[in-house]
Structure 1
Amino acid sequence: MKKLLPTSTAGSLPKPSWLAESETLWSPWKLQDQALVDGKKDALCVSLHEQQQAGIDIVSDGEQTRQHFVTTFIEHLNGVDFENRKIVKIRDRYDASVPTVVGPVSRQKPVFVEAAKFLRQQTDQPIKWALPGPMTMIDTLYDDHYKSREKLAWEFAIILNQEAKELEAAGVDIIQFDEPAFNVFFDDVNKWGIACLERAIEGLKCETAVHICYGYGIKANTDWKKTLGNEWRQYEEAFPKLQASNIDIISLECHNSHVPMELLELIRGKKVMVGAIDVATNTIETPEEVANTLREALKYVDADKLYPCTNCGMAPLSREVARGKLKALSDGAAIVRKELSV
C-alpha cells in the first residue's frame, strides 16, 4: 500500500564543507577535475544518506552536483555567454551579475542525467529531481538575442522537455520545476508562464511538480517578505490556472509564512507538497509544529494528496540544522499519519 503523507524536500541540501564553502549560495567548488567529479558523487551519497537517516520518503540528490539551482543548468546550454555578464534585477528584488543570451539557445547534451542515473543506482525509494522552470530561467539572465521574455521562455521550455524526458528514462519518479518567479510576475504567469510549463512537461509519464516559494532564506528575500504585509496572497493569482493545468503536484510554502491556508482550496484536487519547514531560520521545528501545519493544510487538501515538504531549498543552512529540520519533518508527518489511521 502507498504510504500516506510521504515526505520530501523542496530541493537543495547543504553541501559538505570539503566540496564547497558551507552556508553560501553560488559557493565555488573546493575540488578540481576528476577529484571534483568524484567529490560530487560522494556528496550525493552523503546527502541521500542524511535524507534516509531522517526518514524522508521521496529522496533527491540534494542538488549536490550543482552550484545553483538555475545557473548550473544554463551553463550547459549553447547561446549563453558566461564571460559577458550584466547586472539585472532578479525577481524584481535584488541585483545580480548574470550571463548574457547572445544567440539561439539549445542543449547539446544532457545536463543532469548521469547524476540522476547514479542516484537511481543508490536507492529503491522514489526519487524527485528539480529543474529550473522557464520563467525563473529567463529571470536569471540578460537577453541580448530574443529581446522577448516570452520567446526565450518557450525556447527554454523545449530544452527542459528534452532534459525531463531523459531524466524520466533514467528512473526519476517526480520531475519538479522551480518557479519562484510565479510569485512575482503575475500577468506573465497567466498569459504564458503556465503554458510554457505545460510545454516543458509535454509527453512525460512520470509525475510532475511545480515549486513556487518565497525564496531561500537570504537577506534579499527576507527583506522583501517584510514588505508583503500580514497576508501573502501571491498564490491566489496563479492557483486557479495551475489547478486546471496538467501539472500533478504543486509545492508551496506554508510554515512561518503569512500565506493564508485557505488559498489551498483553489488547488483542491491537485497533490500538494506542503512546506512545513521554515528554511529562513536556524531554529529547528518541533515535530508538533510540523504536525500543526499539516493538520491545518488537511482542511483544504485531501489526505491522500498531501506531501509534507520543506518551504524551499536548504543550501544556505548548516548541515546540522538541515538534518534536524528533516528529522522534524519526518517525525511531524508520522504524528499526523498515526492520527489519520485511527
Structure 2
Amino acid sequence: MNKILPTSTAGSLPKPSWLAEPEKLWSPWKLEGEELAGGKRDALLLSLHDQLHAGIDIVSDGEQTRQHFVTTFIEHLSGVDFEKRETVRIRNRYDASVPTIVGEVSRQKPVFVEDAKFLRQHTKQPIKWALPGPMTMIDTLYDSHYKSREKLAWEFAKILNEEARELEAAGVDIIQFDEPAFNVFFDEVNDWGVATLERAIEGLKCETAVHICYGYGIKANTDWKQTLGSEWRQYEESFPKLQRSKIDLISLECHNSHVPMDLIELIRGKKVMVGAIDVASKTVETPEEVANTLRNALRFVDADKLCPCTNCGMAPLPRDVATGKLKALSAGAEIVRRELGA
C-alpha cells in the first residue's frame, strides 16, 4: 500500500460476548457445531467492520476463529496429544497445562486458509495474517518425542511454511509470525531462532513480519515487566540478527514501555511496526499520545518505513476499549501524516 504510516494491529481483537467469554485468554466457545462455524464467520466480519470503521489500513481477522494465538494452530497438527497434558513454565514467567508432542509433527490440512479466503472476499484493504513463530510454539508444549527444542523448531518451521504459502495464495498481503519468545531465549534466537523463522518464510513473495512483544496485558506479564528495570533492552539481543534476515517488517512494543526508542537503529532498513497503543491498560490513548510515540520513532526510522501498530493483541480487553484504542491509533497516525505533509 502506498499510504504513508499505514496502521495495523498486532493480531487479536476482543471476541463478541455471544461467541466466547470476554476479557479472557483461552476463553471457551459459547456455541457448538454449525452454529459455532457460522458464529466465527460473523465475528470475523464484525471485527473487520470495527477495524475499517476505526480507520485501520492493514486489516486482519482479529483472530476471531481461534481460541489462542498459538494452541489453535497446534490443535490442527498430528503428533500432538491434547489429552496428555503436562505443566510447563511458559517464557520463564508462568505455569500452564499444555499438550504433549508424542510423535512426528505434521500438518494434514490447511488451518486458517478458508478463514483467509473468507476475509479476502469481504475487503479490498491489504490483509495481514498472524501465525505463531516456531520458537513460541515450542514454548507452549511439552515435548516427549524430539527431546530437542531446535529439532522441533525446524519441524514447525517447515509446517508453518506450508501454511504460509497457502495463505499467500489465498490473497494475504503480509504474513506475520508471533515470536514473544524472542524476548526471553536470547542464545536460542541467535543460534537457530532467526534461522527457523527464515525457513518458515522460504519462497514467499508477499511481505513477511515478525512480532516481538512483552506479552498480553495479563498479570503474569505485567508482573514480569516490573522486574525489568528502568530500561528494557531485550531487543538489543535479537535486532542485529533480524536486521540481516530476510524478514521485511519488525513489530515491537513502544508505547508505555521502557524500551529505549534508539534500539530501532539496530533494524535500520527494515519496515518497523511501532507499538503505539498499550494493551496492558484500559485507558484509551489520546490521538496526541499516539502521535508523540510515532514522532519519537521517526527519529530512528524513515517515514516510508514506519507502520503504526498496537503493542500486542487486544483479546483480553473490553471490546469498547479496544475499539477506542483503534480509533486513537488512526487519529494519531493522521496527525503525524499531516505534519509530514502527506
TM-score, with structure 2 as normaliser: 1.00
For residue 11 of structure 1, what is the amino acid of its counterpart?
Answer: G
Structure 1 match to 2:266: 266
**Paired amino acid for 2:28:** P
> Could you say what secondary structure the match of 1:341 adopts?
coil
In 2, Cα distance between equivalents of 1:104 and 1:59: 35
DSSP 3-state at the match of 1:240: helix
Per-residue CA deviation, residues 183-223 of structure 1 (Å, 9 max, x unaligned), is: 00000000000000000000000000000000000000000
**Aligned equivalents of 2:290 and 2:269: distance in 1?**
22
1:84 maps to 84
Q: Superposition pairs for residues 154-233 of structure 1, below 5 Å? A: 154-233=154-233
1:256, CA displacement in angstroms?
Answer: 0.1
What is the distance in 2 between the residues matched to 1:243 and 1:72? 30
| Residues 59-102 of structure 1, C-alpha deviations (whole Å, 9 max, x = no match) | 00000000000000000000000000000000010000000000
TM-score, with length taken from structure 1: 1.00
User: Could you tell me which residue of structure 1 aligns to residue 39 of structure 2?
Assistant: 39
- Aligned position for 2:117: 117
The 5 Å alignment of 1:235-246 reads 235-246=235-246
Deviation at 1:40, TM superposition (A): 0.2
Other structure's SS at 1:2 match: coil
Looking at structure 2, the residues matched to 247 and 263 of structure 1 have their Cα atoms a distance apart, in angstroms, of 17
SS in 2 for 1:211: strand
| Structure 1 match to 2:102 | 102
Q: Tell me the distance in 2 between the aligned counterparts of 1:13 and 1:318.
A: 9
- CA distance in 1 between counterparts of 2:268 and 2:298 reads 11
Give me the whole-angstrom Cα distance separating, in 1, the residues matched to 2:157 and 2:197.
7
Query: d(CA) in 2 for partners of 1:125 and 1:74?
Result: 28
Structure 1 residue 310: Cα displacement? 0.1
1:96 alignment partner, SS class:
strand
- What 5-or-longer segments of structure 2 have no aligned partner? none
- 1:281 matches 2:281: yes
CA RMSD of aligned residues (A): 0.6
Counterpart residue identity of residue 315, structure 2: A
Q: Which amino acid letter does the alignment assign opposite residue 139 of structure 1?
A: D
| Residue matched to 1:291 | 291
Residues 282-341 of structure 1 deviation map (CA, whole Å, 9 limit, x = unaligned): 000000000000000000000000000000000000000000000000000000000001
Q: 3-state SS of the aligned residue for 2:98?
A: strand
Q: Secondary structure at the match of 1:106?
A: strand
Paired residue total: 342
Secondary structure (helix, strand or coil) at the match of 1:82 reads strand
Answering whether residue 71 of structure 2 is matched by residue 52 of structure 1, we say: no
- 2:308 is matched with 308
Runs of 4+ off more than 6 Å: none
CA separation in 2, counterparts of 1:190 and 1:302? 26
* Aligned residue number for residue 21 of structure 1: 21
Return 5+ residue gaps in structure 1 as ranges: none
- The equivalent of 2:234 in structure 1 is 234
Q: What secondary structure is seen at the aligned counterpart in 1 of 2:80? A: strand
Tell me the CA shift for residue 111 of structure 1: 0.1
For 2:267 and 2:294, how far apart are their aligned partners in 1?
Answer: 16
Output the CA distance in 2 between the equivalents of 1:151 and 1:226: 33
Q: Residues of 2 paired with 1:167 and 1:250: CA distance?
A: 20
AA aligned opposite 2:244: A
Q: Which amino acid aligns with 2:268?
A: R
